Structure 1
Amino acid sequence: MDATLTVPALRLLGRFQLSYGPQAVDVTAAGQRVLAFLGLRSRATRSVVAGTLWPEVTEERAQGSLRTALWRLGRGPGRLVDCRHDTLALAADVHTDVRALTSTALSLVDSSPAADESAALGALCGGDLLPGWDEDWVALERERLRQLRLHALDSLAARLLAQGQHALALEAALESVRIEPLRESAHRAVVSVHLAEHNVAEAVRHFEAFRRLLRKELGVQPSAGFAAMVQHRCHA
């Protein structure tokens, strides 16, 4: 395969990986940081990139490290970074999983029609952003994506439930629970699916498990509205 004829793909969810088609490409640690930063920020000035990625050294050394990283990235099979004057940007033809996730999530949050809810669910169930990377700029982006994913899963679960696609709705709700076990809206969605399928016992068991978890972790109870939703169906 001629890698130069294949669109490069940058994976940041679950792990870092740069690939051309099925072929993964080795990237230096500094190059990985540069590509990840630009993949998350779209574009930035050289001084911002250098200062963020090499905060513990002088500006001159940080700029030198950035130049070296860019030079090594430029030796690959295709252009990965656009350098225009003092601005750096990920090349337009580099596909990133983070951009695909963000686009899918925002369309769901905005209630835009989804061409394929099953595909949307698959896009939202990817791994965390760059696990093991402990830099502050990664942590901020990781939390931003986590919150966006949670809101999108809530929206998708509600949409699938309204369409009567209970199995997929439950998958979306449970994924939200997995990401944030203390999020009441996710547990409400799980219970709503069980009630829609007339599985009252399952709904009660899930609610009680959530109630015990909240009491143990936070010393609080589920909202009155959530409790009333379950109690109403139990006595219906």
Structure 2
Amino acid sequence: MLLDVLWPDTHPDIANNRLKVAMHHLRQTFGRIAGDGHPDDIIIFRDGCYLFNPRNKIWSDVEAFEHAWQVGRQLEVAGKLSQAIVYYQQAEALYQGDFLEQDVFEEWTLVRREELRDIYLTIVDKLSHYWFDTGDVTAAIEGWKKIIARDAWREDVYRQLMICFNRIGQRGRALQCYETCRHALRQQLGVEPEAETVALYNRLCDGPDRWPSSPAARDSRGVMENLNARLTAT
């Protein structure tokens, strides 16, 4: 399998020798990183396969990321949101870039990359909602901006940013968010913003005197009444 993947057009004997040389260098590299133990103990050959020695503890950022995500979800479902947030923050900190982003043409990485990326964006969205709901609007803005940087067509996130900027008295930036959203949708997808986004923009244009005096709900997602509530909540 490795020979076919790495050297598909090479004679098997030559490819096999290259594989042995590559594994030797790989063992030496891992040995220098580990700093202890014999390099040959790190990667072993068993039943015709190369594998990491199961006796060694190997830390993987992907495994740590997914573990923090799963624990966070379990805690959130159990109603322990503040504890879940700790794990979500750990997961976000672990995500330093898309999975094997340098291998953009390797088909086997595509599904995994998108899966991990979607989890990351979900985590950032959850954290941003938490920060908004607990009064840290600046942190919420930074979080939602991270999502837009990776997914420029997320209208729901643009709406959240519009609400946030309006909340901190920067209505001009809130209106600019709408223009950025409209431009991105037109340029990349050839569509106009959703009615909910347009309605929010129009109400922002009306000015603060046209907003309801009391919130109708805490969460802004879904319906226009909730968007209004978050814009006027204190």
Q: Structure 1 residues 194 and 58, CA, compared in 2 at 3 Å: closer, same or farther?
A: farther
Q: Which runs of 5+ in 1 are unaligned?
A: 1-46
Of 174, 179, 199, which aligns to 2:145? 174
Paired amino acid for 1:164: G
SS of corresponding position for 2:86: coil
2:102 alignment counterpart: 132
State how far apart, in whole Å, the 2-side matches of 1:183 and 1:209 are.
11
Asked whether the equivalents of residues 80 and 94 of structure 1 are also in contact (C-alpha less than 8 Å), the reply is no
Alignment of 1:45-194 (within 5 A): 47=1, 51-54=4-7, 65-75=18-28, 76-77=31-32, 78=34, 79-81=41-43, 83-85=45-47, 89-90=51-52, 93-107=57-71, 112=76, 113-115=84-86, 119-124=90-95, 126-136=96-106, 137-194=108-165
Give the drift of 1:223.
1.7
More strand per residue: 1
Asked whether the equivalents of residues 69 and 87 of structure 2 are also in contact (C-alpha less than 8 Å), the reply is no
Structure 1, residues 72-108: CA drift from partner, whole Å, max 9, x if none?
3334344544655456554552222233333344455
More helix per residue: 2
Structure 1, residues 32-79: CA drift from partner, whole Å, max 9, x if none?
xxxxxxxxxxxxxxx4x5555555557777666544433333343445
Q: Which runs of 5+ in 2 are unaligned?
A: 35-40, 77-83, 212-234
Give the drift of 1:221.
1.3
Asked whether the equivalents of residues 130 and 138 of structure 1 are also in contact (C-alpha less than 8 Å), the reply is yes
Q: Structure 1 residues 117 and 90, CA, compared in 2 at 3 Å: closer, same or farther?
A: same
TM-score (norm 2): 0.62
CA RMSD of aligned residues (A): 3.3
Asked whether the equivalents of residues 109 and 151 of structure 1 are also in contact (C-alpha less than 8 Å), the reply is no
State how far apart, in whole Å, the 1-side matches of 2:20 and 2:94 are.
34
Q: What is the aligned residue count?
A: 188
Determine if the alignment matches structure 1 residue 221 to structure 2 residue 192: yes
SS of corresponding position for 1:133: coil
TM-score (norm 1): 0.62
Asked whether the equivalents of residues 121 and 172 of structure 1 are also in contact (C-alpha less than 8 Å), the reply is no
Q: Structure 1 residues 138 and 227, CA, compared in 2 at 3 Å: closer, same or farther?
A: same
User: Share of identical aligned residues, percent?
Assistant: 22
Q: Structure 1 residues 116 and 99, CA, compared in 2 at 3 Å: closer, same or farther?
A: closer
Larger Rg: 2
Give the drift of 1:234.
4.5
State how far apart, in whole Å, the 1-side matches of 2:160 and 2:72 are.
16
Q: Structure 1 residues 67 and 163, CA, compared in 2 at 3 Å: closer, same or farther?
A: farther
Give the drift of 1:160.
1.8
| Higher RCO (CA 8 Å, separation ≥ 6 residues) | 1
State how far apart, in whole Å, the 1-side matches of 2:160 and 2:5 are.
39
Structure 1, residues 172-207: CA drift from partner, whole Å, max 9, x if none?
111111112122233233223223434333222111
